[in-house]
Amino acid sequence: MKKRKNDTKKMNNNLKLLIVESPAKIKTISKFLGSDFKIMSTFGHVKDLPPKKLGIERDENDKHIELEYVPIKDKAKTIAEICKVASRASEIYLASDPDREGEIISWHIGQEIAKVFKDKSKIYRISFNEITKPAVLQAIENKATINMKMVRAQQARRVLDRWVGYEVSPILWRKISKGLSAGRVQSVALLLICDREEEIVTFKPEEFWSIHGTFSFKNDDIEAELFKINSKAFKLKSKEETDKALQEIKNSTFTIEKITEKKRARAPLAPFMTSTLQQDAYNKLGFSVDKTMLVAQKLYEGLPLGNKDTPEALITYMRTDSLRLSDTALKAARGYISDKFGTDYLPKIVKNYTKKGAQDAHEAIRPINVKITPRIAAQYLTPEQAKLYSLIWKRFVACQMNAAEYFQRQVLVKGGKFTFRATGSTLVFDGFLKVYMIDDEKENELKIPKGIKENDPLDLKKTEPKQHFTKPAPRYNESSIVKELEKRGIGRPSTYAAIIYTVLKRKYVDKDQKRFIPTELGKMVSKMLTEHLPDIINVKFTAQMEEDLDKIAEGKIKRDEVLNEFYEPFAKDLETWAGKDGKKKAIETDIKCPECSKMLVIRFGKAGEFLGCSGFPECKFTSQFTKDEQGKIMLEEKKEAETVDIKCPNCGKNLVEKMGKFGPFLACPGYPECKYIHQESLKMPCPKCGGKIVKRVSKRGSFWGCANYPNCKLLIPGEVREEACPKCNNPYLSVKKENDGSVTIYCPIKECDYSRKE
């Protein structure tokens, strides 16, 4: 018995604890390491600034900034479990993601472990760009310590965002509506969307015309467009000008002025980084930015290929602004291209790609094993995962292939002062296009009549004038806003999805045919922020701040220098703004109130924006509204409440459907005399107290709870099916909608593993 205790103690002394961010990585990494490794997950961040106070102390004398961190709600148990295992381990490996957020997660959990772990020198920081056995083992071999420069850069970003959110939001509540919030980077993204909308609304189309001619040579035709007049670029602005030119053209004699034939090469695109992956997945696959990152996360963490117990990571880390590829990856790609397509497709020299200003901490996004082709992967992945993996794989392979080659022709046809041009090209070598097609690859092949040469006469067969109007720049969609943010240096790879999610969630922006339109609320918030905080809510300042955060991570400047430089003008602008008129703002319109003839204004409430009378509270008229393409506001006719065939149990009237903060609900039309609100309920009684289980709705969605709340706190999340579990006889089953559109019915009892697909 004594020997067994000693063996147990010895085993515990050899235990090594490796901590990752996501539990999905545990299975993938476990197969690379021996039984002396225990792998645990933090499930993301474990500590943050306190939720109900600022948590930032700034000394007015020496300008030092102190941060207060507390465990995130529901993470105390995770921290305790990790520390319990850490207390009996011999070595600790902090292996959160290789970016600033990952660095501070490692720092925070490392601080907690240090309270129970004696030898602090054996708490290591490791990172890997891909979850493969060589990468993980190499990371353990090259263990390091927490990079405090990266920690301070993350702290700086968090403090900046906290200052703006905590200090600005209360002012927006007072001046516009409760529940609003402001974000430092998101506000600038909103500004770009609002500015683009203003350009569209104020844009005045200009008329212009083009002229197309059909010329014949023997039995063949050449289609050409008017290119120059008097050897100069031109603009026909009206039908009168066009008709005049057409008359002169018809009276002209035409000949072939010049025939140009040359080869043109088109180089492959660089491998993906975060922003270009998001753009291409949106344009080619129809994926939202958020969806792209969620699917890519799964591909990075590992998925089972064949054996469900041995998941395999498929791509490298997906949050990167680097275009660099490792020597191993380049060698693998070139070997695959040579074997699969032959040496004609393989460049003699390796293609290297760089991006100015890239952090270059990671590689570009690429498949880990090029031999796992999209066809092989598709056998084991969901359709969405397979599509994204295919896109990444093809872009990676194509970037190391030879350029595509075209034979390009141009024919200039001249008659008097008019020059027409016909162009076209023929693909003569597909090169990288064999693997990866480009969206704009629409080549127009121009066939030149056999035997034609310069100075040959042509007959003008017909002319066709076409009227056009200039168009404004299109509204941003998810792809184009990411491209614009990256071009202007706003945000970083890890923030693009959050920026888009936030402006939509706050109802500052709506979508029309997948394009962003600022709401009246969004316009007012943007106008107010840029008017009163001009020093910080502007594109140039935000881009400069991103550069400063990068410099903190590189150790070139100090965290508190950047924060103080931000805070002083910010606090001054804030004080001036907060002291101004505290009345809630409303947007004036040119529509008269149908009840009192005073002007209507746009106001903002919990349920969104609405029209109200400027004579409130004397006149209480309100209405919903819509806008036409020119932005003109139109009153919506009030619809009669729809009656349903359910009687009110209190007064016997038929219930009507009403719209509330969380969506439609059924209520008695006799309100306020009768205040009955109908609640859906389950047939089965509450298993805790026997009460009725009713459907409730919150900001997070619908759920089921006991009607005897708060005395009984039974809660059933999501959708349920009143069907007894065939395995454990639990009286209901839970319903889960999968990303691929399928539905899984499963038993919510942890000890029961019953589930089925539908």
Q: Please give the Cα distance from 301 to 42 (Å, whole number).
A: 15
Q: List phi, psi (to 5°) of 744.
A: -110, 130
Tell the burial category of 689 from Cβ atoms under 10 Å away from its Cβ (0-12, 13-18, 19+): middle
Which residues on adjacent β-strands are paired with residue 720? 734
Residue 220: alpha-carbon gap to chain centroid: 52
Q: List phi, psi (to 5°) of 141.
A: -70, -35
| Residue located via tokens 């921290």 | 79
328: Cβ contacts below 8 Å, ≥ 6 apart: none
**Cα atoms in the 13 Å half-sphere on the side-chain side of 676:** 17
Q: Hey, what amino acid is at 167?
A: E
| Residue located via tokens 């109900």 | 52
Q: Please give the Cα distance from 19 to 460 (Å, whole number).
A: 77
What's the sign of the alpha-carbon dihedral 13, 18, 23, 25? Answer: negative
CB 647 within 8 A of CB 670: no
Q: Is 496 a catalytic residue?
A: no
469: Cβ contacts below 8 Å, ≥ 6 apart: 205, 206, 207, 208
CB 636 within 8 A of CB 625: yes
Q: What's the angle, vertex CA 315, arms to CA 333 and CA 490, rounded to 5?
A: 105
Residue 630: alpha-carbon gap to chain centroid: 29
As given in the structure block, the two tokens for residue 473 are: 């720049």
Q: Please give the Cα distance from 138 to 128 (Å, whole number).
A: 8
Residue 493: alpha-carbon gap to chain centroid: 10
Distances 152 to 58, 360, 362, 544, 548 between C-alpha atoms, Å: 16, 19, 20, 17, 12
What's the sign of the alpha-carbon dihedral 31, 34, 40, 44? Answer: negative
CA terminus-to-terminus distance, the chain: 53
CB 638 within 8 A of CB 618: no
Question: Which of 282, 317, 476, 496 is flagged as catalytic?
Answer: 317
As given in the structure block, the two tokens for residue 122 are: 């054996």
Torsion of CA 140, 142, 146, 148, to 10 degrees: -160
The DSSP result for 687-722, as a single string, is TTTS-EEEEEEETTEEEEEETTTTT---EEESEEE-
C-beta neighbour count of 346 within 10 angstroms: 18
Q: Please give the Cα distance from 16 to 24 (Å, whole number).
A: 19
As given in the structure block, the two tokens for residue 601 are: 């204004």
Query: Rg of the chain over CA atoms, in angstroms?
Result: 33
Q: List phi, psi (to 5°) of 195.
A: -65, -40
Strands 701-706 and 692-698: antiparallel
CB 316 within 8 A of CB 300: yes
Tell the burial category of 81 from Cβ atoms under 10 Å away from its Cβ (0-12, 13-18, 19+): exposed
What's the sign of the alpha-carbon dihedral 630, 635, 637, 643? Answer: positive
Q: Please give the Cα distance from 123 to 113 (Å, whole number).
A: 9
CB 669 within 8 A of CB 653: yes
Q: Please give the Cα distance from 494 to 485 (Å, whole number).
A: 13
Q: Please give the Cα distance from 423 to 224 (Å, whole number).
A: 8
As given in the structure block, the two tokens for residue 711 are: 């005395």
The set of catalytic residues is 317
